[in-house]
Amino acid sequence: MQYQIKILLLSFVITIITSLAIIPILKKLKVGQMERTEGPQSHLGKQGTPTMGGIIMILVITVLTGFLCYDYIKDNQSSVAKNLIPIAAVSIGFGLVGFIDDFKKLVLKNTEGLKPLYKMIGLLIFSVAFVLYITKVLNIGTETYIPFIKTYFTLPVWLYIPFAILVLLGTSNAVNLTDGIDGLATSVTALILTCLTVIGIILTCLTVIGIIFNIKEIVVFGSITIGTCLGFLLFNLNPAKIFMGDT
């Protein structure tokens, strides 16, 4: 548990430092929030606030994941590193799709940004690649554990793959729909990630119905992202100094 807290605090501090460096750059580039005139009048005061701040989270996640993977490989725990990479890759990939959308809207001044169809295709490509990798390369199996009834359901691969892809697409778009008020998406995401990370810690310490869990990579990545969310939240609370944007 101490190890996870150290990762969380490290992620938190690095995110704060990165934010302090990136926010002035985004201000100088005039990458500002655009508010619709038909929306609440109170939101017009947010006009010009630097956005595309999700790039801070992408940078921190990339650097910390790379560092930890190197550390695990050096410590003869290459299996953890091998399992950590796809989780980070799909998260960063989703962020890059949002970055393209923000870049088109804010830098290229294309008000439409990335068309919804192209955005979904981008997310679908990363989702399919991730699910195929974990099922065909890592061979994690298709057992789906339902904690409330303490039962496993072994889904056929042809059903598990589209189900997992749907979960990825659904949750990523759920975050996008949740966002809208200063600090909302970041705080909600931090709470949910904390819950999932704690479940990961519990399962790592337990053997359930004869299955030995070894999901250290879930706990590690959860700790990284919680710290990143909390660090970003300091600058995203009302009045926000930066917005996450679609990134």
pTM: 0.85
Two tokens, residue 16: 């704060």
Which residue from 128, 129, 121, 160 is spatially nearest to 144, judged by alpha carbons? 160
**Count of other CB atoms within 10 angstroms of residue 124:** 14
Cα–chain-centroid distance for residue 73?
23
For 32-50, write each residue's pLDDT tens digit: 555 554 444 444 445 568 8
pLDDT at position 37 is 46
**Average pLDDT by stretches of 10, the chain with 247 residues:** 88 96 87 53 58 92 94 88 92 94 84 86 96 90 80 88 94 82 84 90 64 73 95 89 87
Three-class DSSP category at 38: coil
In this structure, are residues 80 and 204 in contact, taking their beta carbons and an 8 Å threshold?
no
Q: Which of 80, 69, 84, 82 is nearest to 214 (CA)?
A: 80
Residue at token pair 């969310």: 229
pLDDT in tens, 185-238: 889 999 999 998 988 888 776 655 444 456 788 899 999 999 999 999 999 888
CA distances for 176 relative to 6, 105, 149, 194, 214, angstroms: 29, 16, 31, 19, 31
Show the beta-strand stretches assigned E in 133-247.
143-146, 151-154, 207-208, 211-212
Query: What's the DSSP call for residue 146?
Result: E
